[in-house]
Amino acid sequence: MPLHNLNPNQLKAWNSLKESASKAENDSILEYFESDINRFENFHVKFNEFVFDYSKHLISPNIKSELLQLAEEAKLKDAIEAYFTGDKINQTENRAVLHTALRQSKTTSIEVDGENIVLKVEAVLQQMQSFVDKVHSGEWKSYAGKTFTDVVNIGIGGSDLGPNMVTEALQYYNKGLKTHFISNVEGDHVHQTLKKLNPETTLFLIVSKSFTTQETLTNANTVREWFLNDTNKESIKDNFVAVSTNLEAVKNFGIASDNIYPMYDWVGGRYSLWSSVGLSIALSIGFENFKALLKGAEEMDQHFRNADFSENIPVISALISIWYNNFLDAESEAIIPYTQYLQKLAPYLQQASMESNGKSVDRDGKKVNYQTGNLVWGEPGTNSQHAFFQLLHQGTKLIPADFIGFKNSLFGDKKHHDILMANFLAQTEALLKGKTAEEVRKELESKNISAEEVERLLPFKVFEGNRPTTSILIDKLTPRNLGSLIAMYEHKIFVQGVIWNIFSFDQWGVELGKQLANSILNELKSKTSTGTHDQSTEALMKLYKS
């Protein structure tokens, strides 16, 4: 069943939400709490080791019903089934979207073009496990007969951001191999990384779904040349492994066919960390932990597929985002994890969300007349408190934020953890309550300053409050919980795309820049110029060449 091409602004609920928004602008979240002593009870969802609290939002019970109605009218239930069962919902590339199949239990069957892909997934997982176990036990040795100490993932976008974020997030579970990520085509980035490495003990993973990406191939060739300085082509089979759908191109690069881990076109790059693209993750944390990551994601998949929308975390999270983006003119949302381990979560979500939903034509190819993908950004707390929280508290922009915190730290240092989490709780409360002029006046009057000075300082010290946050409180940062958290965001992005009536799984918008870069590169290498560029680009090219 294809996705229904329903434009949201033709839906009844969309129009009632518009009306509700014009009134809600003067509403107060604090008053919502005052008028409902069970608001927390009614506005939170428990799932495994997660508590998802969305009570601190500018969403009244009536607005919540209208948002849930919007999901119904957009036929979200049908869309979710189409997504999980392998319909070719990526219609501009004629592909199914089945990253969920990568973490589904072996007993299910999902067919793509008449083939049960769950069996294929299982075979690749076994190939990965055997490799990871051999590297860890020292059975798989380098060309020099040594055990590996370092792994380098060479890839970009989805072939970098997910594995990079997860290996960093789960470094507490690391089994001993150091991981490095080379992504940018910047030579300095490559050489800086290579400086730390010994070819005799370094394993290279070249990860590229297409195996045509300019950055990855340039970097892979540079690394291969560096490697061949000390050794010969025969040694490549011991130290180089590739992950790709383009088996021919990988073989031409010189990688042994046994060292190629397949990917499939029904997995988009930005949703691929669950596949063999996650080899660096499995090498870092061990295969059992990698399986736990998949398990956590599968549990979130089941929750998303089966829970009623009113109790469904990804659905609610997407509806909250749509509420602010489409009805209250918020342009961005912040991701604030209260753990340094998740410092790469925001960059990862930038690709997942903005490459997916940064679209301005609907599924009929017509220009939309409503907002789609929002801007996603963030940094861990408490660092971000000392950076951009000023703007969250007193700036002119409405920025809903996800606060992600853990009940337990990994090393069990309670003194630090209590301080960290006190900040988490204090910030969400401060954003909610603010500080009124009366409170500020009282505080200033208790100081030894003149009445004039009190009035002069007062406006600068007022906090309007009423600034919305979601609190996601999780027991502990484990592979399983991280799997659930990432899957939660993946499904949120999917729901947004369904309601916005856009295609979330293609990325044509990145092509033009790639084409132009190739033609400009030819001109940078030659003495002459084609003169076909705009005035500014021509001038800058000239300056660069001079």
- To ligand F6P, the closest distance from the beta carbon of 530 in angstroms equals 26
Q: How far is the CB of 212 from ligand F6P (least distance, A)?
A: 7
Q: What are phi and psi of 7, to 5 degrees?
A: -75, 130
- Site of tokens 């495994």: 48
Using rule CB under 6 A, residue 56 touches ligand F6P: no
Nearer to ligand F6P, 312 or 353 (CB): 353
Cis omega (within 30 of 0) for bond into 100: no
H-run or E-run covering 288? helix 287-306
- Rounded Cα–Cα distance for residues 339 and 477 (Å): 9
Q: Which window, 45-53, 184-192, 209-217, 438-446, contacts ligand F6P (CB under 6 A)?
A: 209-217
Using the rule CB under 6 A, which residue among 20, 100, 159, 326 binds ligand F6P? 159
The DSSP 8-state label assigned to residue 121 in this structure reads: H
Active site residue 445: no
CA 29/CA 282 separation, integer angstroms: 44
355 is catalytic: yes
Cα angle for residues 317, 103, 282 (degrees, 5° grid): 105
Which one of the spans 68-76, 207-215, 497-505, 530-538 is the region binding ligand F6P (CB under 6 A)?
207-215
- 133: Cβ–Cβ under 8 A, 6 or more apart, which residues? 139, 287
Taking the complex as a whole, the smallest distance from the CB of residue 510 to ligand F6P amounts, in Å, to 4
Q: Does 156 bind ligand F6P (CB under 6 A)?
A: yes
Judged by CB under 6 A, how many residues of this single chain contact ligand F6P?
A: 15
Tokens found for residue 177: 């191999």
> Among the options 215, 299, 355, 523, which is catalytic?
355
Give least dist CB 269 to ligand F6P, A: 3
> Any contact of residue 153 with ligand F6P (CB under 6 A)?
no
Question: What phi and psi values does residue 177 have, to the nearest 5 degrees?
Answer: -80, 135
Q: Is 527 among the residues known to form the active site?
A: no
User: Interface with ligand F6P includes 99 (CB under 6 A)?
Assistant: no
Query: What's the min distance (Å) between Cβ of 214 and ligand F6P?
Result: 9
Between the alpha carbon of residue 487 and those of residues 3, 288, 391, 461, the distances in Å are: 21, 19, 30, 40
Using CB under 6 A as the binding rule, whether residue 312 contacts ligand F6P is answered as no
What is the DSSP annotation of 392-432?
HHHSSS---EEEEEESS-SS--HHHHHHHHHHHHHHHHHHH
* Site membership for ligand F6P, residue 162 (CB under 6 A): no
The interface with ligand F6P within residues 316-355 (CB under 6 A) comprises 355
517 touches ligand F6P by CB under 6 A: no
Contact assessment for residue 74 and residue 499, using Cβ atoms and an 8 Å cutoff: yes
CA separation for the pair 17, 67 (Å, rounded): 7
Q: Which candidate in 366, 407, 514, 542 is catalytic?
A: 514
Residue selected from 64, 209, 363, 467 as contacting ligand F6P according to rule CB under 6 A = 209
Residues involved in catalysis? 355, 386, 514
Residues that bind ligand F6P (CB under 6 A): 155-159, 208-210, 213, 216, 269-270, 355, 507, 510
